[in-house]
Amino acid sequence: MELVIDAHGAELPATLTLPDGPARGGLIPLHGSHCGNRDFVLYEHLAEVLPAHGIAVLRYDRRPSRLGVDVPFVDQAADARAAISLLRRHIGDAAIGLWGFSQGGWVAPLAAATWPDEVAFLTLVSPSGVSPGAQMRYGLAQQLRNNGFADCLDELTRFQDAMAAYLRGQSDAETMREEFAKAASQPWWPLLGYDFSDDVFNAPPGELWVDMDADLTSSYEAVRCPVLTFHGETDQWLSIDESIGIWREASAKSGRPAPEVIRLPGCDHVPTIRTGDTTGISPTYEKALLDWLNRHAVSPKAAV
């Protein structure tokens, strides 16, 4: 079913996949930073698998970014709430939860903490507990280490420090252009994936990455619903143990159970496994997700 989410001045195209019978629950995927379209493979997988188990899936296109400016988490969380309202009209009183991948692992708990009565559960895939800026520093450093550039980490740090200073309004565009030019001449530069240098200067620096230093620990502490997290055992983009520890500490402070953590063998940042020339969804991920959702993510009167 094709729908449109009215999200505070933006109309977000959406696709709703319903069970054949009454919905026992509903799930809304929230986006990774580079996976803003609703046809991303992980979101489509949810729509293919969950309705057969009585869970409706509403997936939608993320609000468009502007001139390279990242969509602020608060806006993404508000859009998630608008999606919940739309899904509620189609499945009645069934429990509705959020599924967040990567960047969505920050947005989902922010939404759940802000509107606790509307979010019944969270499932997070490759979530980071630290700030986005800290996570990106860790991930890019790992890329250099894994590709034989461990002796260039000081050069990377210099560039990252310069970028952070510019984004915080502590440096000027001319200085940042010089730092871009220096870094772009290095053999490790392609590993960073920075293909947006022109966009960096098309908006005020304070608007480019407003969540770079975002500390979501207060949101983690405020989450009241059950939480499931998945981590690929070979994920090089985030510090898994540190992230798990931050969530556990937040749970202890709030007096609620810590998230259930599942590590996925053979997976990195995405819960997929490559077999020969084929890449598919991890069977471990799919089974664990279905088992957990059946225990935690359906309305009590409908659980089996």
59-102 confidence digits (pLDDT tens): 999 998 876 668 999 999 999 999 999 999 999 999 999 999 99
Can you give the pTM of this predicted structure?
Answer: 0.94
Sign, CA torsion 232/238/239/240: negative
**Res 302: pLDDT:** 42
Comparing 12-16, 136-140, 196-200, the range with the smallest average pLDDT is 196-200
- Does 154 lie in the same domain as 120? no
Please say which residue of 174, 208, 242 terminates a domain.
208
In a domain, 112, yes or no: yes
Question: What type of residue is 17?
Answer: T
Confidence of residue 304 (pLDDT cuts 50, 70, 90): very low
Which runs of E-coded beta strand occur in 8-135? 10-17, 25-30, 55-60, 95-101, 122-125
Task: Note the pLDDT tens digit of each residue in 14-49.
Answer: 999 999 999 999 999 999 998 999 999 999 999 999
Mean pLDDT of the chain: 93
Task: Note the pLDDT tens digit of each residue in 141-155.
Answer: 999 999 999 999 999
In a domain, 302, yes or no: no
Write out the residue range of the structural domain in which residue 244 sits.
2-130+214-296
Please say which residue of 208, 226, 255 terminates a domain.
208
- Does 15 lie in the same domain as 104? yes
- Does 292 lie in the same domain as 173? no
Q: Which residue has the higher pLDDT, 277 or 124?
A: 124
Please say which residue of 156, 190, 208 terminates a domain.
208
- The enclosing H or E element of 43 equals helix 41-49
| Tokens 């933006």, residue located | 10
Judged against a pLDDT cut of 60, whether residue 121 lies above it is answered with yes
- Does 136 lie in the same domain as 118? no
- Does 38 lie in the same domain as 145? no
In a domain, 21, yes or no: yes
